[in-house]
Amino acid sequence: MKHYSIALIPGDGIGVDVIREGKKVLDTICELDGGFSLTYETFDWSCEYYAKHGKMMPDNGLELLKGFDSIYLGAVGYPGVPDHVSLWGLLLPIRRSFQQYINIRPVKLLRGIKSPLANRDASDLDFIVIRENNEGEYSNMGGRIYEGTNLDMAIQNSVFTRTGVERVLRYAFKLAQEKGKRKRLTAATKSNGINHTMPFWDEYVHKIHQEFPEIETNIVHIDALCAFFVSKPDVFDVVVASNLFGDILTDLGAAIVGGMGIAPSANINPEKNFPSMFEPVHGSAPDIAGKGIANPIAAIWCASMMLEHFGEEKAAAAIMEAMQDVLEEGRVVTPDLGGRATTEEVGSSICDTLKKKLG
């Protein structure tokens, strides 16, 4: 029997609640499937940990995570700890050290969810954004001088490397080739305003396109691309973007398919030399933390993506179906989707549906 080890990092705020439900669903499908086993170890790294220890994770944190098959993370960040401290103290070191250079963010309208875009259904809203995850605009290059004086200034540099750009583009083209319904790739740019790194990015889009001549390829300015996500989302298949553009674009992507409570993401090390990390797009939501009403769908979708990454396609698909059955029935949904159910009730309802279908 195949076995997978999972490091759980629930993190802060609603991260804790949604990971609990995600684990519950994983345990249920694992038992029903019978073809694989899962073990977990929980790490309490968070802003609370920071308050006690002055760091987001122990010095050997990455060493501790290295041996796991994957990492399942809720969210980190909470008022009291500056966001750049929580992010650079945990999430970004994991993404970088483990070469999780691909961030997969599906923009797909699930059964049972109504898009805020008028007259759009699931056939119009079904594409994947690939975000570059290790360099670009989030590169920790720069500095600040003359703080507290009239000369106060800050510089933040973007880093685009041939290796970094080629590998994310190649991954995106390959995805369009293997899984794309429309065999189409859209690359986000801003080569008119950002005149060094973006023409560089565009040049490599053309270059890698030559390896995939059958893929229809468009390079679109990020501002126009945002508008097209709203006005003609049906034209997209695979969208590839730099770190910053992909980050911003995918919150919009989440909004057009039902909001932050639903959007999943996977940080992938395609070579599988290191664990990949699965986490909802949303943060710790301090405004609803502790109320038990966070939507666990994003986290549960991430659990499905994790199983898919392991190669457990059948189990992954079963989670997606059960989740959509519950959404379509509409009885047990959280307030962000207009319902009154709790986080825990949604998780349990998905588990019950799985048992009914497969038990």
CA distance 121 to 132: 28
Closest contact distance (angstroms) between CB of 56 and Mg ion is 18
Provide the token pair at 167. 């590998």
Closest contact distance (angstroms) between CB of 290 and ligand NAI is 12
Write down the residue that tokens 């993404």 correspond to: 95
Q: Which phi and psi (to 5°) does residue 314 adopt?
A: -65, -45
According to CB under 6 A, which one of 14, 128, 257, 332 is a site residue for ligand NAI? 14
- Our measurement of the distance from residue 178's CA atom to the centroid of its chain's CA atoms, rounded to an integer in Å, reads 21
Closest contact distance (angstroms) between CB of 312 and ligand NAI is 24
Closest contact distance (angstroms) between CB of 251 and Mg ion is 6
CB 122 within 8 A of CB 97: no
Provide the token pair at 113. 């969810």
> Does an H or E element contain 105, and which?
strand 102-108
CA distance 121 to 109: 7
CB 124 within 8 A of CB 295: no
Closest contact distance (angstroms) between CB of 325 and ligand NAI is 20
According to CB under 6 A, which one of 133, 134, 189, 295 is a site residue for ligand NAI? 295
Provide the token pair at 249. 């674009």
Site track for ligand NAI across 302-341, x = CB under 6 A: ----------------------------------x-----
According to CB under 5 A, which one of 247, 279, 308, 345 is a site residue for Mg ion? 247
What is the spatial order of strands in the sheet that 36-42 belongs to? 36-42, 2-11, 70-75, 276-280, 264-268, 102-108, 126-132, 238-241, 184-189, 216-221
Q: Which of the listed partners (Mg ion, ligand NAI, none) does 122 bind, with a CB threshold of 5 to 8 Å by partner kind?
A: none
Of the two residues 87 and 185, which places its CB atom closer to ligand NAI in the complex? 87
If binding means CB under 5 A, how many residues of this protein chain bind Mg ion?
1
> Which residues, numbered 72-111, are part of the site for ligand NAI (CB under 6 A)?
75-78, 83, 91
Of the two residues 167 and 282, which places its CB atom closer to Mg ion in the complex? 282
CA distance 174 to 165: 14
Q: Which of the listed partners (Mg ion, ligand NAI, none) does 78 bind, with a CB threshold of 5 to 8 Å by partner kind?
A: ligand NAI
Nearest Cα residue to 159 out of 194, 208, 209: 194
Angle at 289 between CA 286 and CA 292, to 5 degrees: 160
Under DSSP, is residue 72 helix (H, G, I), strand (E, B) or coil? strand
If binding means CB under 6 A, how many residues of this protein chain bind ligand NAI?
22
Q: Which of the listed partners (Mg ion, ligand NAI, none) does 295 bind, with a CB threshold of 5 to 8 Å by partner kind?
A: ligand NAI
- Strand 102-108 and strand 264-268: pairing? antiparallel
CA distance 336 to 294: 8
CA distance 72 to 277: 6
Site track for ligand NAI across 231-260, x = CB under 6 A: -----------------------------x
CA distance 37 to 30: 6
Closest contact distance (angstroms) between CB of 32 and Mg ion is 33
Q: Which of the listed partners (Mg ion, ligand NAI, none) does 247 bind, with a CB threshold of 5 to 8 Å by partner kind?
A: Mg ion
Q: Which of the listed partners (Mg ion, ligand NAI, none) does 90 bind, with a CB threshold of 5 to 8 Å by partner kind?
A: none
Q: Is 282 in the site for ligand NAI (CB under 6 A)?
A: yes
Closest contact distance (angstroms) between CB of 16 and Mg ion is 19
Of the two residues 12 and 247, which places its CB atom closer to Mg ion in the complex? 247
Q: Which residues contribute to the site for ligand NAI (CB under 6 A)?
A: 14, 18, 75-78, 83, 91, 260-261, 279, 282-288, 294-295, 298, 336
Q: Which residues contribute to the site for Mg ion (CB under 5 A)?
A: 247
